[in-house]
Amino acid sequence: MIRALLLSLRQLTDPPVLRVFVKSMAVTLLVFAVAGVGVWWGTQAALAAWLGWDADGLAAAFALFVTILALWLLFRAVAIAVVGVFADEVVAAVEARHYPEALKTARPVPFARSLTMGLRSAGRVVLVNLLMLPVYVALLVTGVGTAAAFFVVNGWLLGRDLGDMVAARHMDAAAMRGWRATTKGGRFILGLANTGLFVVPILNIAAPVLGAAMATHYFHTRYSRTPYLDKGRA
C-alpha cells in the first residue's frame, strides 16, 4: 500500500489527474457554497416570518457556521461522491502510465453509472456514520475508542467504493460480486489507508483523487489476473 501511495503522489501533477483534482474540488466547494446560500436564505426567511424583522447579519453568521460545520463533517462524503463521477479519468490515467495492457481491454464507465456509484457511496458514508454516531459518542469515554471505530467503519466503506471504481472498468456485475467476496481484507486495508489521508491536513484535500489512484494500483498489482477478472472480460 505504501508503494501505491508513493506512485499516486508522483502522478498527482499529471495533467489528466490534475484536471480531475481541480474539477472535483470546484464541484465539491460549489456544493457547499450552494448549501450555505440555501441555509442563509432559509434562516432569513424563517426569522422574518417568526420575529417580523430583517436579520441579514444573524442569518449570514448562522449560514457560515453551518457551512463550516458541514465542511468538517461531510467533506469526505461529498468529495468521494464527486470524485466517483470523474474517477474513470483518474483510473485511465494510472492504467495508461503503469498498466497499458489492462487499459487496452478496459471498458470506460458511462457517466450515468459513475454518478450512481458516487451518490451511493456518499449515501452509505452518511447513513452508516449517522447510525454509528451513538457508538462514537459512547466510546468517547475510552479516549481512543471513537477514533478506532471511525477508522474501522470508514475503512470498510471506502475500501468497497474505491475498489468498485476500478473493477467496474474490467468486470461485469457478477464478476464484481465474486471479486468483492475474495478481496475483503485487501480492500479494507486500502480503505484504512485512504481514511488516514483524510485526517492529514493539506493532504486530505487530495485524498479522494489519491484514493482512486491507489485503488488502481491495488487492483492491478494483486488481483488483475484473478479468474473473476477473466470472467468479466469474457
Distance in angstroms (rounded) separating the CA atoms of residues 99 and 104: 9
Quick check: 137 and 169 in contact, CB under 8 A?
no
pLDDT band at 188 (very low <50, low <70, confident <90, very high): very high
How confident is the model at residue 94, as a pLDDT? 93
* 26-43 pLDDT, tens digit each: 888 888 888 878 877 777
Query: pLDDT higher for 116 or 146?
Result: 116
The pLDDT value recorded for residue 233 is 42
Mean of all residue pLDDT scores within the chain: 81
| Structural domain for 186, as ranges | 2-233
pLDDT score for 116: 86
Q: How big is the CA angle at 120 (ends 115 and 121), to the nearest 5 degrees? A: 100
Residue with cell 450555505: 36
Confidence band, pLDDT 50/70/90 cuts, at residue 47: low
Total domains in the fold of the chain: 1
